Amino acid sequence: MRQRRTPFGLLAAPMAWLVVAYLGALVAIFATAFFTTDPFTNKVVTTFTTENFSGLFTSTYLRIIGRTLLIAALVTILCMVIAVPFAYFMARVAPRRLRGVLVAAVLVPLWASYLVKAYAWRAMLQPEGVLDSVFGGTPGYGTVAVVLTLTYLWLPYMILPVYSGFERLPEAHLEASADLGGSTATTFRRIVLPSLTPAIVAGSVFTFSLSLGDYIAVQIVGGKLQVLGTAVRQNIVLDLPFAAALGTASVVIMVVYLTLAGRTGALDNL
């Protein structure tokens, strides 16, 4: 039973906070994307221009945006490929008493320090590090290292929704498919995957958008690699309006991705 009125008393403080401390700052930074900087002092000057946005469409920045999208897509696909069989194992193969332990085993790295996890891969990838001494070689710091590290960082965000997806899938559907003569492969392709799509899409929203905005892990294991996040970081001091335009670009890409994801109906029960 819900009351049909606006609870002003409850909302006043949180709304004042959100508007003053957050929304105001956010609107201001998006507005800054339309300003220019004084060439001598690097201070922001409030003359209207769309130059910052046309600057995004130069070959340098198009390449950076393209590279960032590619990394985000690769990370998302890798997370899917790892998460689906693993979540299936958690939900259907592992003995019931192990399930709680497995969920905890996925939740712990979700909360364990983001910075330390990225740093851990520096130690894994460094020359004469773990990969080098165990496998006799390391990809070194660069694109491969970034994709690997980001996959590592965001994997729990994919496993958990897919695991709940498997939990919600009724065993009876699988039995019905088998009774009607469906082989394991057919059942997986025609029953399991379609009912799992919303969960996978929901997970991909996290892996994609988190990869898109990341710059700390890229700085730690990426060597000199330039992505959207590092480009924003580099422009802040000298050209804040352009940094704001780059930030806006990442938000726009995310909104587009969210809209596409929303069309599949995957986000309705988030």
Q: Which of 209, 88, 217 is nearest to 152 (CA)?
A: 217
Shortest reach from residue 246's CB to another protein, in Å: 9
Q: How far apart are CA 205 and CA 262, in angstroms?
A: 10
Q: How far apart are CA 6 and CA 214, in angstroms?
A: 38
Q: Which stretch binds another protein (CB under 8 A): 47-55, 59-67, 139-147, 169-177?
A: 169-177
Closest CB to another protein among 88 and 143? 88
- Indicate whether 244 belongs to the interface with another protein (CB under 8 A): yes
Q: Which of 133, 197, 259, 264 binds another protein (CB under 8 A)?
A: 133
Closest CB to another protein among 9 and 39? 9
- Indicate whether 47 belongs to the interface with another protein (CB under 8 A): no
3-class secondary-structure state, position 118: helix
Sign of the C-alpha dihedral computed for residues 192, 198, 200 and 203 taken in this order? negative
Closest CB to another protein among 59 and 100? 100
Q: Which residues lie below 8 Å from residue 187, measured CB to CB, with a gap of 6+?
A: 174, 177, 178
Determine contact, residues 113/233, Cβ cutoff 8 Å. no
- Indicate whether 2 belongs to the interface with another protein (CB under 8 A): yes
Q: Which of 56, 144, 216, 267 binds another protein (CB under 8 A)?
A: 216
Q: How far apart are CA 222 and CA 112, in angstroms?
A: 21
Q: Which stretch binds another protein (CB under 8 A): 50-58, 139-147, 155-163, 260-268?
A: 155-163
Residues from 65 through 84 that contact another protein (CB under 8 A): 82
